[in-house]
Amino acid sequence: MRITHWWYTLPLRLRSLLRRGQMQRELDDEMQFHLDSLIEDGTARGLTSTEARQEALRTMGGLTQRKEEARDMWGLTWLTDLGSDLQFAFRSLTRAKGLAFFVVVALALGIGMTAASFSMLDALVFRPYPVANPNQIVTLVSTSQDNAFEGFSYREYLDLRNASKSYDGMIASGPVIGVGFSPDARTTPRVKAGTLISGNYFKVLGVEPRLGRGFRTDEDQVPGRDAVVVLAHAFWKQELGGDPAIVGRNVRLNGRDFTVVGIAPASFPGLFIFSRTDFFVPLAMGRLFTADPKQDVLEARDARGLTVRARLKPGVTLAQARTEVASIASGFRSAYPALYRERGASVHTQMQMRTQAGDINWKFGLIFTVLGFCTLLVACTNVAGLLLSRARARTREIAVRLALGAGRQRLVRFLLAESLILAGLGGLAGITVGYFAIQALQRFSIPTDLPMTVPFRMDVRVLFACIGLAVVSAVLCGLAPALQSTRTDVAAGLRSADVDPPGRRGMWGRNALVVAQVAMSLMLLTASFLMARSFQASVEQSTGFRTDHMLMTRLDPRLLQYDVARTQQFYELLSQRLRETPGVVSTALTQNPPLGLDSFDRLAFVPEGYDLPRGRESVKSFMDTVDDGYFATLGIAVTRGRAFTAADNATAPRVAIVNEQFAKHYWPNGDAVGRVLREGDRGGEPIQIVGVARTVKYADTVELATDFVYLPHAQRPSARMVLLTRSNGDPLQLIEPVKAAIRSLDPNLPIIEMRTYEDLYRYSAVEGPRLAIRMVGTMGFVAVFLAIAGLYGLVAYNVTRRTREIGIRMAIGASHADIMRLVLGKGLTLVAVGTVIGLGLGFAVEKVFNSMLFHTVGVDVVSYLIVVPTMLAVTLLAAYLPARRALRIAPTQALRCE
């Protein structure tokens, strides 16, 4: 009955909760009516009005009490009780300001660190796309043995879109690319970030333009016809002053007039995590923006530079979509056997795309979050320990309350209210700590001129996580002390101010807390040391090249519609001129220097004399296109054979230089120099290996040694290049000479970015790792600090509690050593147990780090040799200092105590 009509009573309960004031007035009126009626009754029987009134009041039997009883019936006593609990708990906490302060700081650090780490994980994994119904959006990928997350080409996208039935629309978009932008033809273009998108992009995503319109489907049909552009909101505001009249006017992109048809809303900065785009252009205009002059992006089936996303129809499962796309891919295989021999396709959710095994950023986010949570756990155990001893010291108070008839449930609630207040304050302070930590993360600058953003911010999910963490910590901190203290034996509690519960059970919880603290802080400290040392090791391994005295200049003559021949000539002349410039030692051209921010191209090839794995037609390796000055300028040693020379030009036989890892991989027993690679497949063009270079770090400092091929720029042209200029003095002194050299060749050519290579290197190999080490290190030190405080507290508490006992022992002749053993013994055992458990956790963490981040095996003995003794020394000191107090106890005084 009760359960079936809760829906009926719920509004009544809510009313009594929310409209308490009104109900109170109604109750008053109702009782008043009764009273008046009684009085009338009395006067009717012939009493005077005063007599009648007195009689009526007597009859009612305590008006206030009756009202109180009626109010109790509103079924909300628990809530009003909670209010008074909180009030009382707050008052009792203001009497223990020191404790409250320590607790709030501990929780704030724990919550703040977790929040900051979670903001990374949130941005990298959880934050939904800023579109309508983001959960329906899935990503289609082309799969091969080398890469299970490849994109699609424009042709493939069109075929997929026409053949599939699982989706309400399918869109394609390119990466963020540098585009020469100018408001009109007279102004020198500046490089801005553009994205190529399919015509249905905004419609399928459900993004309504702020002004104007999105693209029409017909604007994406004919290559090169519709020069239209949609501007991103931030770009429109910053570059064009938010002028609404811009819609309908022309701007110049890569030397061509484009009509602005719309402005994207501020809520839609694009679908990238790290970068914003400044404007969107239709894919059909792709030829104007492509990177590879040899490939026609609109025709080549293997120009797989597009990300294809689709909105899953309601009711269609991911498995169905996968089956469909796999069958379309098998159709591709039969239609174009040469292009699709080992290629399939699949569909992934946003989450699956963001948690790829090959991506390292989200792994750091995850590891930081888990470690941050561990710090919070240490803080919670610490707070629980403190509250436990506080509750123990209040045994008498609690016994009195129990004896006076307080319900145990009510007492537990009261004690939980205390931890709730503490956790609430800790949560608020934690949000503040987290906010500033995230601000610090945001200051981390990425050395590029394209609009890269650090996406970490305090958003709704991070805020909710903070609140959740505060509630979890309230329960973790408060429950154990609350339950334990209400087990108090009333009679014993009343006799003494501070009595251990019978048996050793009472101390067990407290001991476990100290063990957990020692173990977890040891683990966190180990984690920070391991991370620091692994980064250090990986950076040391990567110093196979020079980083000093080099100026980087990024150029892309395609922004001015240069063709291949003109581009090659430009770079040749530029290098020549710069090498004659005073102050320039040498120059180099590369598509992306080591540890640069771009990704490397991949070269498909067949190594002659090497047995390909069964079923493979070719293998792939990362590659770079470099000029003859590259190896000398960067100081990458060519250990066998020779470096590229000016003679390796377009007409000479094709040559390549591979790295040592590559040579070892394919010819473990012989010399790689002189061997031949066939580009593409067995019948491809032969490329002879003329040299072997040292293996360095290419994409990031923690990568495994990876295969790498260098091809001469003259034989494999690329338009977008990085020019490295080595100086004999400050590389920044070369900025003007380099600019002058470029202007002398073409005054209109935009310079995409200019900075020292040292900047870039520091970002990739120094600043990033330093940030990671700092985060984990801070967690480690906070944890150790808390563990020290916890242990200190425990021993100090023990000494105080046993003052009388110690006095007696000393009086009957116990030595100092005996006393130390007595008070320290327990603490030392706990430290020992905690250390052993912490070591185990440390090994586990090392295993996770090795497999997820650093790709190494084995145990880093040095870390443990530093961490464990340090931890032991520090914890012993924390136990020893309060223990020393026991020795100073004067027996006569101790006996008088209590």
Partner 1 sequence: MLPSVTDMSKPTDLVQGTLDLLILKLLAIQPLHGWAISRRLKAVSGDVLQVSEGSLYPALHKLEQEGWIKAEWKTTENNRRAKFYELTRPGRRQLETQAASWDLLSSAISAVIRLSEA
* Residues in touch with partner 1 (CB under 8 A): 1, 5, 8-9, 12-13, 16, 26-27, 29-31, 33-34, 36-38, 55, 58-63, 65-67, 69-75
Q: How many CB atoms lie within 10 A of CB 670?
A: 11
Q: Residue 639 in 3-state DSSP? A: strand
Q: Residue 414 burial by CB count (10 A; 0-12/13-18/19+): exposed, middle or buried?
A: buried
Tokens of 249: 């006017």
Q: Which two tokens stand for residue 855?
A: 């790709």
Nearest to 784 by CA among 550, 565, 518, 578: 518
What does the block give as tokens for 411?
């007492």
Give least dist CB 8 to partner 1, A: 4
The Cα 220–Cα 179 span in angstroms is 19
φ, ψ at 605 (rounded to 5°): -155, 170
Nearest to 703 by CA among 534, 890, 825: 534
Interacting residues of 148 by C-beta distance below 8 A, sequence separation 6+: 141, 346
Q: Smaller CB distance to partner 1: residue 62 or 686? A: 62
Q: How far is the CB of 35 from partner 1 (least distance, A)?
A: 9
Q: Which is nearer to partner 1, 66 or 249 (CB)?
A: 66
Compute the CA torsion angle 709, 712, 718, 719 (nearest 10 deg). Answer: 130
Q: CB 34 → partner 1: shortest distance, Å?
A: 5
> Closest CB to partner 1 among 73 and 857?
73
* Least CB distance to partner 1 at residue 1 (A): 7
791: left (phi over 0), alpha (psi -120 to 50) or beta: alpha
Q: Select from 203, 275, 523 the least CA-distant residue to 377.
A: 523
Q: Copy the structure tokens of residue 157.
A: 């996208």
Compare residues 58 and 743 and give the one whose CB is closer to partner 1.
Answer: 58
Q: Which is nearer to partner 1, 5 or 888 (CB)?
A: 5
* Both tokens assigned to 278: 């400044």
CA-to-CA distance for 856 and 80, rounded, in angstroms?
Answer: 59
CA quadruple 174, 180, 186, 187: dihedral sign: positive
100/325 Cα distance (integer angstroms): 59
Q: Are 437 and 116 in contact (CB under 8 A)?
A: yes
Q: Which is nearer to partner 1, 67 or 396 (CB)?
A: 67
Residue 413 Cβ, how far from partner 1 at the closest point, in Å?
A: 22
Q: What is the DSSP secondary structure assignment for residue 129, as one 8-state letter?
A: P
**Choice between 38 and 99, CB closer to partner 1:** 38
The torsion of the CA quartet 481, 486, 488, 493, rounded to 10 degrees, works out to 90
Cβ-based nearer residue to partner 1, 1 or 319: 1
- Closer CB to partner 1, residue 1 or residue 491? 1
- Give the pairing type, strands 177-182 and 250-253: antiparallel
In the complex with partner 1, the residue whose CB is nearer, 26 or 730, is 26
**Cα atoms found within 13 Å of the Cα of residue 394, Cβ hemisphere only:** 20
Using the minimum distance from each CB to partner 1, give the nearer residue, 36 or 681.
36
Angle, to 10 degrees, between the axis of helix 803-811 and the axis of helix 816-849? 130
Name the residue nearer to partner 1 (CB basis): 58 or 579. 58
Q: Closer to partner 1 at the Cβ: 47 or 353? A: 47
Distance from the first to the final alpha carbon of the chain: 58
Minimal distance in Å, beta carbon 372 to partner 1?
46
Q: Which is nearer to partner 1, 66 or 826 (CB)?
A: 66
In the chain, the amino acid numbered 753 is E
- For partner 1, the closer of residues 24 and 688 by Cβ is 24
User: Min. distance of Cβ 59 from partner 1 in angstroms?
Assistant: 5
Pick from 386, 380, 368: which is nearest to 524 by CA?
Answer: 368
Q: How far is the CB of 49 from partner 1 (least distance, A)?
A: 16
Amino acid code (one letter) for 74: W
Angle at the Cα of 595 from the Cα atoms of 592 and 599, rounded to 5 degrees: 50
DSSP 37-67: HHHHHHHHTT--HHHHHHHHHHHHT-HHHHH
Is residue 751 a contact partner of residue 559, using CB atoms and an 8 Å limit?
no
Give the DSSP per-residue string, 358-383: T--HHHHHHHHHHHHHHHHHHHHHHH
Residue 36 CB, nearest approach to partner 1 (Å): 8
